């Protein structure tokens, strides 16, 4: 693939893991994180995105809640505390939210565990009644479900959403407290039509929709579609997602039953960037054990000029597809690691999809590919998208991914783009050492607070 970027030196504030004991232990151990000049520990909670670190550094940059006063600095460990700390979605006062431990989104204000049956109570919904009402053998396959049971399903889903969707206001930093297994299980951070948000050092696990909708018109055989992403950006700007781990752990898709011959899918995305979101940097995260992992652009008709996203130094391991799926925007993928070996029942469909005239630069990434997977399967497209770049390795060998894909497919991926990345802090000129490097430096368990 053609070269399409300028290399920039490592940003001065890039964290270095210096403990030999931690290197031996790998991801998940506590680590002392120092600035590059090794003079002081990083203030994790007030840290802002460095200059030229991807699209989110553009313009005003991304500072989150760095200017928060003591009245707007919170430490939370329950769902109710998190909701209170977030405040109204329309708020703009800078705030820092430190999450200590794992928050179960499926709990009430007193901390009582809630189940799917609790959300369905009083709505009239039951899965057995829903399956009977919309059985394709009697209902047909030409129209979406409607009627009493579909209305009941929507009402039950609305009850769950009121409990598990956390609406993030502008100028907010949300950070997991190191050493506490910080994260959110079963919930969704919704960053919608707000600017300047930072999300770091959290594990997002098993964001599960109790009430998937049957769509008989989706594909040749219909599909069950779920509602919630672990983190969703909708019309958001200046967002930095850093050192998080995303996983279905707790309920892998292999546990899903089939109805009408199709998987009853309870998971949607891990981190979706849609509705003309813009100026986003996603770095040093782990995406693992998931199907529809990251969507950039929710519609082929989204307007141009937005959806500018940088993804660098992330691990994608055991994901089926959308790593990412890109539409319309200008997306830079550099120094990421893809391990497409099947994991926990998740087997590759493709890694990167460029469609709807997306302009992707994929540079110096590393794929680990088992012999059972063809290199031509690593990409996907609709014939209108572009993927440029260079230095991509497959099992350590420089490989032209677009040429491999185009040789096997009639809808060709274009090899030129209409932009040149310049916000490339930390870009490494070779992908050779990335698997070993990112195994120790991506995801949760690496950052510490001063």
Active site residues: 322
What kind and span of H or E run contains 117? helix 116-120
Burial of 255 (0-12, 13-18, 19+ CB in 10 A): exposed
Structure tokens at 122: 């009083």
Going by the DSSP 8-state scheme, the letter that residue 321 receives in this structure is E
- φ and ψ of 189, to 5 deg: -85, 120
Using DSSP bridges, classify how beta strands 352-355 and 379-381 pair: parallel, antiparallel or unpaired: parallel
Using DSSP bridges, classify how beta strands 172-176 and 95-99 pair: parallel, antiparallel or unpaired: parallel
Q: How many CB atoms lie within 10 A of CB 358?
A: 29
Q: Measure the CA–CA gap between 228 and 22, rounded to whole angstroms.
A: 35
Q: Measure the CA–CA gap between 420 and 4, rounded to whole angstroms.
A: 6
Non-local (6+) Cβ contacts of 315 within 8 A are 285, 286, 287, 288, 336, 337, 339, 438, 439, 442, 443
Structure tokens at 175: 């950070």
Say if residues 310 and 280 touch (Cβ distance below 8 Å). yes
């Amino acid at each position: 693939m053609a070269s399409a970027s300028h290399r920039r030196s490592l940003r001065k504030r890039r964290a270095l893991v210096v403990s030999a004991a931690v290197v031996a232990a790998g991801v998940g151990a506590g680590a002392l994180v120092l600035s590059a000049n090794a003079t002081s520990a990083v203030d994790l909670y007030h840290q802002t995105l460095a200059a030229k670190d991807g699209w989110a550094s553009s313009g005003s940059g991304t500072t989150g809640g760095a200017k928060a006063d003591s009245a707007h600095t919170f430490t939370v460990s329950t769902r109710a505390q998190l909701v209170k700390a977030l405040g109204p979605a329309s708020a703009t006062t800078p705030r820092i939210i430190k999450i200590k431990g794992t928050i179960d989104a499926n709990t009430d204000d007193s901390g009582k565990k809630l189940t799917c049956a609790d959300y369905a109570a009083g709505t009239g919904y039951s899965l057995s009644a829903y399956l009977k009402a919309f059985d394709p053998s009697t209902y047909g396959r030409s129209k979406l479900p409607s009627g009493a049971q579909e209305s009941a399903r929507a009402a039950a889903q609305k009850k769950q959403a009121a409990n598990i969707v956390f609406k993030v206001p502008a100028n907010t930093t949300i950070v997991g407290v190191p050493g506490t297994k910080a994260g959110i299980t079963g919930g969704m951070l919704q960053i919608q039509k707000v600017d300047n948000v930072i999300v770091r050092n959290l594990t997002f696990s098993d964001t599960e929709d109790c009430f998937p909708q049957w769509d008989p018109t989706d594909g040749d055989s219909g599909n069950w579609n779920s509602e919630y992403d672990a983190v969703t950006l909708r019309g958001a700007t200046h967002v930095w997602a850093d050192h998080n781990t995303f996983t279905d752990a707790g309920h892998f898709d292999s546990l899903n039953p089939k109805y009408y011959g199709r998987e009853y899918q309870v998971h949607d995305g891990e981190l979706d960037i849609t509705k003309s979101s813009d100026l986003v940097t996603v770095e040093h995260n782990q995406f693992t054990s998931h199907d529809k992992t990251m969507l950039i652009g929710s519609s082929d008709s989204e307007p141009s000029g937005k959806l500018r996203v940088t993804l660098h130094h992330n691990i994608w391991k055991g994901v089926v597809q959308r790593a990412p799926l890109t539409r319309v925007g200008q997306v830079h993928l550099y120094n990421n690691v893809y391990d497409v070996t099947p994991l926990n029942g998740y087997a590759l469909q493709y890694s990167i999809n460029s469609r709807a005239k997306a302009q992707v630069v994929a540079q110096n990434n590393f794929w680990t590919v088992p012999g059972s997977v063809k290199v031509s399967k690593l990409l996907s497209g609709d014939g209108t998208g572009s993927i440029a770049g260079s230095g991509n390795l497959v099992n350590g060998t420089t490989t032209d991914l677009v040429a491999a894909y185009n040789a096997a497919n009639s809808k060709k991926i274009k090899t030129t783009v209409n932009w040149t990345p310049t916000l490339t802090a930390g870009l490494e000129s070779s992908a050779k050492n990335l698997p070993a490097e990112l195994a120790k430096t991506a995801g949760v368990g690496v950052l510490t607070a001063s």
